Every structure is written in structure tokens, then in C-alpha cells.
Amino acid sequence: MNNFKNFIEENKDQLNSFAKEYVEKLDMPDILKESITYSLVNDGKKIRPLSFLYLLKYYEVDYTNYFDIALAIELVHTYSLVHDDLPEMDNDDYRWGKLTNHKVFGQDLAVLTGDAMLTLAFEVLSESNVKSDLKVRLIKQFANYSGAMGMIAGQVYDVKQKITMLMLTI
């Protein structure tokens, strides 16, 4: 486990830098870039993308060639957190020790930021340097696990459970 902790420490900043550079190059409104970067480049643990990279390293694959796919993983995860923090969901004010996206940029831009991050994840995957058949499978898996039968379904259950619990207490 120490090896994984060391790997995280050695690569978290590099992943944040990669993400920041990627967003800076995009042709979009500056306020949207700022909002995406605010949530994407943070002090979070980055467990999901770094676990992916560590697995590649474990199997002796040059993981440094796959920061783009790691970024796609983090984009999907961060989009879900930005949306989850909204007043209509969990109504959180803080994440990673700082104000949530909607508290800084407003609810309207937070929704658009989350939407942009999700679609950017697919753009990143489509531009990755993996073989076409693998690229298609990755895109399908990302869509499946982040979509209506995956993360979104989980969020629906979370929101509806809160409503049910509220009704039971009334």
C-alpha cells in the first residue's frame, strides 16, 4: 500500500498540471475554463485516475502515455461532484476545503460546468492514442457507467431516497 501512496504523491501534481494545460488550450469562454479548472484541479486525492495509472504501471505499461485517459476518468468524476453539490441534490457548500463550484460561480454555470466536463471526457477519449476498437469500447463503458444505468441512476436513487425519508419524518 505504501507503493500506491508514494505513486499518488509522485503523480497527483503531474495529473493536475496535465488537466490544467488541457483546459487552458480549449476554445471556450474564459469563465467556463475558470470554473472547470476550479473544480478539476484541486487537492482531491484523485484515487480513480491514479488507480488506473498505477494498474498500468503494475503491469509494466508506460503509464505516462495514458494521462489523457486518466484525465477523462477525473472529468467524469468531477462532473458528478459538481452536480451532486448543487442545492437540488446534496446542497453542499464546501468540497476539498474550499467553496463548491456553485457557491463561487453560481448554479447556472455549475450545471454548465458539469455538463462540459462530462462531454469533454468523451472528447478526450476520442482523441486518445489507443487503438480504435479499444477507444470505442472505452467510450461505451464510460457512457454506460456514467449514464442513466450507472452514476445518474445512483443519483436518482439518492435524491428519491432523501425525499422518501423526508416524507416519513413528516
- In this structure, are residues 91 and 49 in contact, taking their beta carbons and an 8 Å threshold? no
Residues whose CB is less than 8 angstroms from the CB of residue 121 and which lie 6 or more positions away in sequence, other chains included: 71, 72, 73, 75, 76, 79, 142, 146
pLDDT at residue 51, as a whole number: 97
Q: Cα dihedral sign for 122, 128, 134, 135?
A: positive
**Structure-block grid coordinates of residue 51:** 488507480
Q: Residues 41-76, buried b or exposed e (16+ Cβ, 10 A)? A: bbebebeebbbbbbebbeeeeebeebbebbbbbbbb
Q: How confident is the prediction along the chain (170 residues), in pLDDT tens digits per residue?
A: 689 999 999 999 999 999 999 999 999 999 999 999 999 998 888 999 999 999 999 999 999 999 999 999 999 999 999 999 999 998 899 998 899 999 999 999 999 999 999 999 999 999 999 999 999 999 999 999 999 988 998 888 888 876 665 556 66
- In this structure, are residues 129 and 142 in contact, taking their beta carbons and an 8 Å threshold? no
What domains can you pick out in the chain, each with its CATH number?
2-131 (1.10.600.10)
DSSP state of 94: E
